[in-house]
């Protein structure tokens, strides 16, 4: 289950954009073939996050890798498979010390320097962001484009997840640039059928990888 190279679509929860609730979203994403789920919640208290995290872990159990965004304490409390941290979050060394060696830790990077540093520290995968303009993060930086993926892919061996403004029209460019996986939040959660949308994304990713 922990082979990050086999991941196509990386699903991130968003309770504010969700039409049917995050539990339904995650269940449908996994049924559609998604192999990794990240619980991201910025506006709930710790008690509620632990409750939701436990429920999501049960849904993911044996079916998908389950990660927590940013909050190492929540990841520990719900026995998640690992966590994802940003440049302004807890340091990788501290996260590793708290989570232990058998947990996955991913890190967001924005340029080659950060990518090389993350790999040297021992991060399991990197999320490069934002590739295109995105509206789901208020503090999003200026888009860096698929060219940054190509630059990083030439220098790092760990899996790359592309994040930010990705849709069905530009997935091909992102995968061809060297991304192993992609995150798309708005395009997925605004769809009438999350299951169908995730299925389509996965099919396009697989087709792009096979070329």
CA distance 130 to 127: 9
Residue 1 pLDDT > 60, yes or no? no
Q: Residue 79 — left, alpha, or beta (φ > 0 → left; ψ -120 to 50 → alpha)?
A: left
Beta strand extents in 117-184 (DSSP E only): 125-128, 160-163, 181-183
Sheet strands side by side (includes 10-12): 10-12, 36-39, 65-69, 82-85, 104-109, 125-128, 160-163, 181-183
Give percent of the chain above pLDDT 70. 96
- The model's pLDDT over 114-142, given as tens digits with 9 standing for 90+, comes to 999 999 999 999 999 999 998 666 566 89
CA distance 79 to 170: 35
Residue 59 pLDDT > 80, yes or no? yes
Backbone angles phi, psi at 86, to 5 degrees: -100, 180
Domains of the chain: 4-210 (3.20.20.70)
- pTM, two decimals, is 0.96
């Amino acid at each position: 289950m922990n082979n990050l190279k086999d991941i196509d679509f990386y699903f991130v929860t968003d309770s504010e954009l969700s039409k049917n609730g995050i539990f339904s979203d995650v269940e449908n994403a996994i049924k559609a073939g998604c192999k990794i789920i990240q619980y991201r919640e910025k506006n709930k208290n710790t008690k509620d996050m632990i409750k939701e995290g436990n429920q999501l872990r049960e849904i993911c159990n044996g079916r998908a890798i389950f990660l927590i965004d940013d909050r190492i304490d929540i990841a520990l409390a719900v026995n998640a498979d690992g966590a994802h941290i940003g440049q302004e979050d807890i340091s990788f060394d501290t996260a590793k010390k708290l989570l232990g060696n058998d947990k996955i830790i991913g890190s967001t990077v924005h340029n080659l320097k950060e990518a090389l540093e993350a790999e040297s520290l021992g991060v399991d995968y990197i999320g490069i962001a934002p590739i295109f303009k995105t509206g789901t993060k208020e503090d999003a930086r200026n888009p860096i484009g698929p060219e940054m993926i190509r630059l990083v892919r030439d220098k790092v061996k760990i899996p790359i997840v592309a994040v930010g403004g990705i849709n069905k029209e530009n997935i091909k460019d992102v995968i061809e640039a060297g991304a192993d996986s992609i995150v798309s939040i708005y395009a997925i959660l605004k769809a009438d059928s999350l299951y169908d949308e995730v299925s389509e994304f996965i099919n396009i990713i697989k087709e792009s990888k096979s070329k």
